[in-house]
């Protein structure tokens, strides 16, 4: 029987390099078995005979390590390990025992600071995300249905598979592999049970004991970068052709604010208005971005010459029944309604006039809509006021008014009046609340919000007036203070108090209140009370007439 030079050379190297004792005896036995192994036995174990195994010479250059750093594995061992696994289906531990190699010989997660720093720098250069040491994901490898515990291998796509977790570095080099969990196992479970999590936890613990600090939280700037570059494009993919129903709008707003609250470090329990969060982070409403893109696409269709397919489809009027599940409004009708709202009617029926030179003076839909949004969207507090004026004049004036407060939380009706008696919008705490809330929005200091909350307590205790029901010096005007606090804090306590004041106003004329000089006027009479009651239908959009913006 001819001896296989490849197997003999491999076992000779292993025997010479092995330590004395059990390891040496083990490799001696392997050498004797291999030299006396028939071709049929080799085929059973490697699927190739001796001549086939010699074909490793054809791929030697492709699988040979370019350097001798880190004791690279020889091409012969790589070839034998691969053939043995493919031929017998033995898992890694058995293969490692047979051939003297293990998974860390090929794949090893870096834990020393130099390697980690290099990987972090590579990811930072690619995506601008600091502190990333690997990209992790799971993939399902399809398998034949096993005879035992077949159901646990069925994944969510009803296919038998093994859920494999793989970690790459920035150069697509595999750092870690876990390939032992059935297809029904969730990715998070695999990560929690993997050795990778334990290694990272131990490394973090060792760094903390040696004085190093690991920053686990991304900066707000990095989170906003992720929001703009990844989250928004994924959330609004194909939004140019959306028909924005109320359900779609509410879902987009909910998804948007769910992310922005995390960026701002807030939760729903904090009860901070969405407008305040957007102003703090400096981002535009996502719905505004969607509608601008739709108007931009509309302008592209309007300027498209006759004969182009998108333009012809846009101008067409198909007939027939609407398929089930499709929006009841066509995109053309929806976009036309948006355009009409911001810049008037446009004749879509005249196909030739749409691209006619005489129509070039017609406002472009995207530009007209942007101008409309600029005119009607709320400006950030203080956006039109000079910064020096805010710091030198406005802020000292607000602080001066704050320092005139009584111990009860109420404010004097005038500079010379030291009587803590009046609780009116025109005299006392109710009129100070909007100023304090605006100061809180502009200067971002909690002291202004705290003073406004104290004013709310005073109004709740002493704000039901027999002087009248109006908004100037009546119960309705005091109720507006609760609506202002509710809009900013989203605390339903203030909405409840506003409702109670509204119930008082509903019993108009039954409390023995005085009759004003102008009983039907806005500020003194019934018109103001009616205005306040109408605000209770949409308290989130309420504002004091001719005073709050």
List C-alpha distances in Å: 96 to 8, 77, 105, 106. Answer: 18, 11, 10, 12
Q: Check: CB of residue 80 under 8 Å from CB of residue 10.
A: yes
Task: Report the distance separating Cα 260 and Cα 426, nearest Å.
Answer: 38
Q: What is the CA radius of gyration of the chain?
A: 37
472 marked as binding residue = yes
426 marked as binding residue = yes
Name, in order, each residue with C-beta under 8 angstroms of 303's C-beta and a sequence gap of 6 or more: 354, 355, 364
Q: Check: CB of residue 190 under 8 Å from CB of residue 176.
A: no
CA 419 and chain centroid, separation: 52
SS3 content of the chain, % helix, strand, coil (to 5): 55, 5, 40
Nearest to 492 by CA among 305, 284, 268: 268
Task: Report the distance separating Cα 162 and Cα 536, nearest Å.
Answer: 57
Ramachandran class of 377: left when φ > 0, alpha when ψ lies in -120 to 50, beta otherwise:
beta
Nearest to 120 by CA among 99, 135, 100: 135
Sort strands 161-168 and 135-142 into parallel, antiparallel or unpaired.
Answer: antiparallel
CB atoms within 10 A of CB 242: 18
Task: Report the distance separating Cα 470 and Cα 472, nearest Å.
Answer: 6
Phi and psi of 316, rounded to 5°? -70, 160
Q: Check: CB of residue 271 under 8 Å from CB of residue 264.
A: no
473 marked as binding residue = yes
Nearest to 537 by CA among 502, 491, 485: 502
Task: Report the distance separating Cα 323 and Cα 340, nearest Å.
Answer: 27
DSSP 391-434: IIIIHHHHHHHHHT--TTS---SSTT--------SSSSHHHHHH
CB atoms within 10 A of CB 548: 14
Task: Report the distance separating Cα 537 and Cα 105, nearest Å.
Answer: 70
Nearest to 364 by CA among 302, 294, 410: 302
Task: Report the distance separating Cα 329 and Cα 245, nearest Å.
Answer: 9
Name, in order, each residue with C-beta under 8 angstroms of 341's C-beta and a sequence gap of 6 or more: 372
Binding-site annotation: residue ranges? 426, 472-473
- Specify binding-site residues for Zn(2+): 426, 472-473
């Amino acid at each position: 029987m001819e001896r296989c030079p490849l197997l003999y050379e491999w076992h000779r190297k292993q025997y010479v390099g092995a330590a004395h004792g059990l390891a040496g005896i083990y490799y001696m036995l392997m050498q004797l078995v291999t030299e006396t192994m028939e071709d049929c036995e080799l085929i059973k174990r490697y699927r190739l005979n001796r001549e086939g195994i010699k074909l490793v010479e054809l791929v030697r250059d492709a699988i040979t390590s370019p350097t001798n750093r880190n004791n690279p594995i020889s091409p012969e061992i790589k070839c034998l390990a691969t053939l043995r696994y493919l031929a017998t289906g033995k898992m890694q531990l058995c293969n490692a025992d047979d051939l003297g190699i293990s998974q860390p010989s090929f794949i090893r997660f870096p834990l020393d600071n130099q390697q980690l720093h290099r990987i972090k720098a590579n990811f930072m250069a690619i995506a601008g995300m600091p502190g990333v040491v690997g990209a992790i994901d799971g993939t399902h490898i399809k398998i034949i249905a096993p005879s035992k515990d077949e159901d646990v291998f069925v994944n969510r796509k009803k296919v038998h598979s093994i859920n494999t977790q793989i970690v790459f570095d920035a150069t697509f080099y595999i750092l870690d592999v876990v390939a032992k969990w059935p297809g029904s196992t969730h990715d998070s479970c695999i990560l929690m049970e993997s050795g990778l999590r334990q290694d990272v936890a131990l490394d973090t613990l060792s760094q903390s004991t040696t004085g190093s600090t690991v920053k686990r939280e991304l900066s707000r700037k990095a989170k906003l970068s992720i929001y703009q570059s990844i989250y928004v494009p994924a959330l609004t993919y194909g939004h140019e052709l959306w028909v924005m129903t109320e359900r779609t709008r509410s879902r987009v707003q909910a998804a948007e604010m769910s992310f922005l609250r995390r960026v701002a470090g807030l939760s729903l329990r904090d009860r901070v208005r969405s407008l305040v969060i957007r102003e703090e982070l400096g981002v535009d409403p996502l719905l505004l971005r969607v509608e601008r893109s739709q108007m931009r696409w509309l302008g592209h269709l309007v300027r498209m010459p006759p004969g182009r397919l998108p333009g012809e489809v846009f101008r067409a009027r198909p007939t027939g029944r609407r398929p089930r599940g499709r929006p009841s409004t066509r995109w053309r009708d929806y976009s036309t309604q948006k355009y009409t709202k911001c810049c008037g009617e446009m004749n879509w029926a005249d196909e030739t006039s749409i691209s006619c030179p005489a129509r070039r003076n017609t406002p472009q839909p995207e530009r007209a809509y942007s101008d409309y949004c600029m005119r009607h969207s709320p400006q950030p507090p203080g956006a039109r006021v000079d910064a020096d004026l805010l710091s030198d004049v406005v802020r000292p004036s607000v602080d001066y008014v704050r320092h005139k407060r009584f111990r009860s939380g109420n404010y004097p009706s005038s500079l010379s009046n030291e009587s803590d008696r009046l609780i009116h919008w025109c005299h006392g705490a109710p009129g100070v609340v909007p100023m304090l809330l605006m100061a809180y929005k502009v200067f971002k200091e909690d002291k202004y919000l705290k003073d406004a909350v104290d004013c709310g307590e005073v109004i709740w205790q002493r704000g039901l007036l027999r002087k009248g029901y109006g908004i100037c010096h009546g119960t309705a005007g005091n109720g507006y203070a609760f609506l202002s606090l509710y809009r900013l804090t989203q605390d339903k306590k203030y909405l409840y108090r506003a409702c109670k004041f509204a119930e008082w106003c509903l019993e108009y004329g039954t409390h023995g209140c005085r009759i004003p000089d102008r009983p039907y006027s806005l500020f003194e009479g019934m018109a103001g009370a009616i205005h306040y009651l109408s605000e209770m239908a949409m308290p989130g959009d309420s504002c004091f007439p001719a005073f709050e913006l």
